[in-house]
Amino acid sequence: MDYFPKQVLLQCQKGDPNAQKDLYVRYKAVLFAVCLRYARDHSEAEDFLQEAFIVIFRDIPQFRSEGSLEGWLRRITSRVAITQLYKKYPTRFAQPFESLPPEYAISMPEHSELDEEVMLQLLQQMPEGYRTVFNLRCVEEYSYEEIAQMMHIAESTVRSQYVRACRFLRKLVEKMLSGVKDGG
């Protein structure tokens, strides 16, 4: 349940360090999980989280309680992660558009036991551009247009990256599942 005491939120919006600490303690694990989906490793995710909280504490006076606080925090965190990735690897988000096959989902065998931790490890093996677009589209459920605006790239590039990300992830899953079947 997304409950954070209104009085603590108001104090946080006024810059009270104790209230900010309460917010941090309450949401750090949830937001770290968001960062992990974009980061290559724990260290990079920690950097993203730190940057996210800087932005959160700077912008929290703008939060008007019109929606979920956790949703607002997640959106800021994903945008911070994207901004950090874009600064770090600007050319990795600009692959040329090619004609696209129809979108398809990754089909998992019913008997497979791919839990969140395994999927996170697979996502972290993806190139930054693929991983970012995949997260924004599949996990965060942004439209192609919104992703293009966030990442400062053409919508056609987003679509191309998304299809390539799905293919890449499918290959990783198939490779992992074939290793499991072979006793690896």
Rounded average pLDDT over 149-156: 86
- At a CB cut-off of 8 Å and minimum separation 6, what does 96 contact? 157, 160
Q: Which of 104-113, 119-128, 130-139, 151-160 has the lowest mean pLDDT?
A: 104-113
Residue 94 predicted with pLDDT over 50: no
Helices and strands, number each (H, E), in the chain: 8, 0
Q: Reply yes or no on whether the pLDDT at 146 is more than 80.
A: yes
For domain 96-181, the CATH architecture is Orthogonal Bundle (1.10)
pLDDT at 177: 77
Q: What is the mean pLDDT of residues 125-135?
A: 85
Q: What is the structure's pLDDT at 178?
A: 77
Give me 32's structure tokens: 């770290």
Instruction: Judge whether residue 98 has pLDDT over 80.
Output: no
The residue with greater pLDDT, 85 or 109, is 85
Name the DSSP class of 135. I
CB 101 within 8 A of CB 163: yes
CA-wise closest residue to 82 among 145, 149, 162:
149
The pLDDT tens digits for 4-44 are: 788 888 999 999 999 999 999 999 999 999 998 888 889 99
Assess whether pLDDT exceeds 80 at residue 63.
yes
Mean pLDDT along residues 119-139: 83
For residues 96 and 41, give the distance between their C-alpha atoms in angstroms, rounded to a whole number: 27
Q: Nearest CA to 38 among 174, 177, 165, 171?
A: 165
Count of Cβ atoms closer than 10 Å to residue 104 Cβ:
10
Residue 111 reports pLDDT greater than 50:
no
pTM here is 0.63
Domain range list for the chain: 6-88, 96-181
Q: What is the pLDDT of residue 100?
A: 33
- The residue among 125, 36, 128 whose CA lies nearest residue 78 is 36
- H or E segment to which residue 8 belongs: helix 6-13
Q: What is the pLDDT of residue 1?
A: 42
pLDDT of 176 higher than 70: yes
Res 77: pLDDT:
94
What number does CATH give the domain 6-88?
1.10.1740.10
Integer CA distances (angstroms), 86 to 73, 92, 98, 184, in order: 20, 8, 22, 36
